[in-house]
Every structure is written in C-alpha cells, then in structure tokens.
Amino acid sequence: MSDSYVPPDTPLEVLHQDHAILIANKPAGLLSVPGKGEHLADCLLARVQAAFPEALLVHRLDRDTSGLMVFALCRQAQRHLGLQFEKRQIKKTYVARVWGLLTPKTGTVDLPLIVDWPNRPRQMVDPVNGKSAVTDWRVVRHEGETSRVRLYPQTGRSHQLRVHMMEIGHPILGDPFYATGPARDAPRLMLHAEALRLRHPDGGKGMNFSAKCPF
C-alpha cells in the first residue's frame, strides 16, 4: 500500500456537525486513520482535525470504501458512540456492485471471520476460530453481468462485506484483495457506506444520515 498511496485531493465534505458529533463523507482511496510513516499521514481523521481539532475517532472504513463516517467532538460523545457500535445499535447500509447476477432477491451470509495472518490484511472464513460475522443483502437491480445490492452488516468485522460477497461467489467489483478476473477491473472498489442510523450522544434522539452513492 505504501508504494501506491495517492490520496484524492478533494475538499472535506461535512454533512452534519453539532456540539457533539460530526458526520463526514469519506472519498474512496483515502485512509480513515494514518498509516505507519509520513507518506501515510494524510487521512480523513487528519483532515477533519485540521478543521475541528477536538474531533475524535469512533470507527473506520477501509481505504478503498467511500461514504459516511461519524466523529465525536468530545470524550463523552466518543464513549457513547463507541458503546452503540459495540452493542450493534448503530445501523449501517452499504451500496455495492458485485460480480454476477445475485439471486435470490434477499438473503443473509453468516460466516465467521478471522485474519489471514500470512496474508494480512486479508481476512478469511474460519468456522472454528473465527468471530461471528453476519451480513444481510438485498438486490437493487441487475446491471449487465453485475448486480447492484444493498448490504446491511449485523456485525462489524474487518473486510466483512468484501469476504462475505466473495464467499457466495459474487465479489465486489474492483476489490484488489478478493476479486479476480474481470470482476477486478473496475476503476475503484465498488463499495459505499450510504446510510447511518444512530442515537445522538446528548439526549439519545434517533438520527439518520445518508450520502449519495458515487457509482
């Protein structure tokens, strides 16, 4: 990754900001947090903190995934949001384009995941030692030899959506780790965090946010 990291030169897109939280739309190709070394310092967290120095990390998205990320603007909000993620109370919706004509219209993938140590950061299915990972899917439409789907992760494992789609024979287009052949030829990883539902850390009001899919 270090050899080819050219983060997109796009302005910070803040979709919501109040006294406790900030919602930003991460472009594909930008790290969520800094990597090891000066060349991997540019990331969404750094860009957010340049404008909002008090911003604190709550969760992350893969570098090649675009879409919504929530940041806390105080420690109390960070703790509150962290607990919501831990208890699986935050609901996330992703849009993806996957290879092949996915059927039926809806379904669930329930396959436990573990890091593939010799091939990090790749993850793999491990029924014995893996941690529970569950993804619901809904087909939006078929597009040529591909399918546009909405993915609803019930758990938040690393690379969960990417491995689950590959395991059922429909890898996400443009995935450098898990797609092969023509499925890999897309200009980017076709995965976007489209919607986020959470409770506001101050008062618990339910809030919904969305960011239009760019592909």
> For residue 95, what pLDDT is reported?
98
pLDDT in tens, 49-90: 999 999 999 999 999 999 999 999 999 999 999 999 999 999
- For the chain, give every domain's residue range: 2-90, 93-191
The mean pLDDT of 202-212, rounded to a whole number, is: 97
Rg (CA), the chain: 17
Instruction: Answer yes or no: CATH 3.30.2350.10 is held by domain 93-191.
Output: yes
Statement: the pTM of the whole predicted model exceeds 0.85: yes
Cα(10)–Cα(25) distance, integer angstroms: 11
- Reading the block at residue 149, the tokens are 């789907």
* Catalytic residue numbers, as ranges: 62
Can you list the positions of beta strands (E) in 59-190? 66-72, 91-99, 106-110, 113-115, 123-125, 134-143, 146-153
At the fourth CATH level, the homologous superfamily of domain 2-90 is: Pseudouridine synthase (3.30.2350.10)
Q: Give the CA distances from residue 158 to residues 106, 155, 199, in Å, rounded to whole numbers and listed in that order.
A: 23, 10, 23
